[in-house]
Every structure is written in structure tokens, then in C-alpha cells.
Amino acid sequence: MQTVPEENPPIPDAGPEVELAQAEPSSGSAPARKGSGIGLWLRDLLVSAVASVLIITFLYQPVRVEGTSMLPRLEDRDRLFINKFVYHISAIERGDVVVFRYPRDLEKSYIKRVIALPGDRLRIDHGNVWLNGKRQIEAYVPDEFRDSRSMAEMVVPEGAYFMMGDHRSISSDSREFGPVERSLVYGKAVFVYWPTRDAGVVR
């Protein structure tokens, strides 16, 4: 499943004005107060718009999903925000849904779930994932999306992560192209915003 950056990210509404104080009325000052009020409103609107653009530019990026390997949570053409900053201050964890550059073609981006971390011992036995000797309970993979593929035990290399799609029977993932280097991971899927029927936090 690929993701495609949105060219024109939406700018959130500036929101309702909050009136902090109101001067006592005085004769002959109504026009000045009105002009001043409009100026303050325009200033606050501009500041809110600039802040929104900066947040989207430096913290969040809208992307479009292409493909169905992350069903049932992410559908083809879903649009979502990814957090581009979070992994600068916190570690990648098992279960995170991340966006990374496809190792075999860096022009493409994939979205998958982190299954194993650096140093983990991983094997897959007829579709069942075993980590460090323990079988994993993967509630995010519906029974109808499971497969019966197996993979011999491996140790995930340092600085790399093993990725898999939730729709196991059709996903092209680390079972084919191997663990993904940390340097290729550039965002964490956070929130689906379109279509509205799919809107919500990505888990």
C-alpha cells in the first residue's frame, strides 16, 4: 500500500473569536473602536492561519492511501495526517502504523504496521507471528485477512524494523523486501480525515 503526499494541504478553520476584554463605552469613540476591532480580528485570523500552515508543514503532512494492504482500518483513497516530528522525540514502537520510503524505489512511499524492532527474534509459522519466542495476538488482523505463509526465524538488524500490512494475504511488506532502515521511516499515521465515514485515530 502506497501513500501520496497531498499537494495542497487544507488549512484548518481559525475557529471562533474569544473576547478577552471590552472597554467601557465613551462618547465619540465608536468609529475608532470599530476600526480597531476589525484590525484585531484580521490580525488574529492571520496569526491563526500562519500557525496552522506551520503546524501542517513542520509537524503534520496530509497523504493519500493507495491500495488495500492496510484494510480494514485504512481503505484505498483514504486521506490522513501523518506526524513527521514524533520520531524525533520518541522511539518507534511495535504496532505503530508508519509511512516510509520503499527500499527498492525511494520515489515511492509505503504505509505498514511495525511488527518487530531491532534485535527482535522473529519467525512466522503458517501466518502466526512469533516474537522472541512468544506468539503474538494481532487483533488488528481479521481472520478473513490472514494467510498461511511461513518464514524462517531471523533477527531484525540494528537500525531496522520489520513491517507488515494488516491485510496479510495481499500485502507486499518486509516478508518480501526485508526489514526497513530507520532512515527511511518519516512519519507516523495519526488521523484519517476523509472520507468522513473512515474518520478517526489510526490504531
Point out the residues that are catalytic: 69, 112
Torsion of CA 104, 107, 109, 114, to 10 degrees: 40
Full DSSP string of the chain: -EEEE-SSPPPPP---------PPP-TT-HHHHHHHHHHHHHHHHHHHHHHHHHHHHHTEEEEEEESSTTTTTS-TT-EEEEESSHHHHS---TT-EEEEE-TT-TT-EEEEEEEE-TT-EEEEETTEEEETTEE---TTS-GGG-----EEEEEPPTTEEEEE-SSTTT--SHHHH-PEEGGGEEEEEEEEEESGGG-EE--
